[in-house]
Structure 1
């Protein structure tokens, strides 16, 4: 499993998978977070979703499952959707068997029961 965005929600999911015997790799936003993830047994990469590094995305080719759990950016929405063509080109080797997007409702705040999207 490769998780783009091993923040609170992504890391929780990663730990559950690891406890079930999965090998999990993923991304974070700082060297300090990378070190903490590696201490927990994860293969981690520092990654900026606004300017995705091809060498990190190429790591996806060694995984059959991808979870995208990067929170939206105010005014931009999902940063990975800004780079959808790059992501598609990296995933074009047909190794990927499963892809999912996981979002935390907490990133949207209280919307009083109204529908919420990336806008």
Structure 2
């Protein structure tokens, strides 16, 4: 087995490690050029696409709204003999649902993530073996509410009723790896079972670290970027029944309580 990873970031690097642990080989494409480093512009990349058995892209849309991978290599990917292709997308494609649950049958394109919607749909149409994984807020070791609290960068925002879903990075890896041998091509929501307010997560992180809660800030606080304010304009809960049913995934961290406790153990190592 040979996995080509396009974009070796926080999540994809862990998928690559899991793939290697199964005995497969991995070729990674990175954004920054260097000696022996493949980039999207590397002349040998089309040949690698043509020989990989598995291909995963975690590259987000560019500032101009295009998907950099598809802009450069859509034809090669569409013709690839790979038995499995994966794309890490976002549950932001669903837009605002006023807190309602959404599964993979829900419409997309009604929110602020128009470029992500276009990429999501383009990957779905690209190849008959594509799996699109729609991910909510990703957290894990070194990238959780515990780290924000510990660094003094955690905020509680006056946005009552604002719910969102999240997923521990280890469970994304578990779902992606399960899809190598289970489940049909298509779209999969990957999310835990307990959507919650951001304040609840921050408060639990503070409890674990035995520190005071940060003050409640208004939504227009200068502490939030314009992008962060946009996040609070959308309110949804992600249903991941298909992940459980078709991929056979039983989450290691079923909710943020379990997930943050796991992150705390990693911090203590």
Which TM-score applies when normalising by structure 2?
A: 0.31
CA contact (8 A) 1:45 1:56 kept: no
> What do the CA deviations read for 1:30-51 (whole angstroms, capped 9, x no partner)?
256x7xxxxxxxxx73314xxx
| Highest RCO, 1 vs 2 (Cα 8 Å, sep ≥ 6) | 1
- The equivalent of 1:76 in structure 2 is 65
CA contact (8 A) 1:31 1:46 kept: yes
Deviation at 1:4, TM superposition (A): 0.8
Q: How many positions carry a matched residue from both structures?
A: 99
* Deviation beyond 6 Å, 4+ runs, structure 1: none
User: Which residue of 36, 40, 45 corresponds with 2:37?
Assistant: 45
> What do the CA deviations read for 1:76-114 (whole angstroms, capped 9, x no partner)?
24222334xx4323552x521111101465698562235
Structure 1 segments unaligned to the other structure (5+ residues) = 35-43
Aligned CA distance change for structure 1 residues 59 and 91 (closer, same or farther; 3 Å): farther
User: Which residue of 5, 11, 14 corresponds with 2:13?
Assistant: 11
**What secondary structure, in the 3-state scheme, does the structure 2 residue paired with 1:99 have?**
strand
Determine the C-alpha separation between the residues in 2 that align with 1:105 and 1:77.
Answer: 21
CA contact (8 A) 2:8 2:58 kept: yes
Determine the C-alpha separation between the residues in 2 that align with 1:22 and 1:60.
Answer: 16
- The equivalent of 1:39 in structure 2 is none
Deviation at 1:26, TM superposition (A): 1.5
Determine the C-alpha separation between the residues in 1 that align with 2:136 and 2:32.
Answer: 23
User: 1:15-34 to 2 correspondence within 5 Å?
Assistant: 15-31=17-33
Aligned CA distance change for structure 1 residues 73 and 55 (closer, same or farther; 3 Å): same
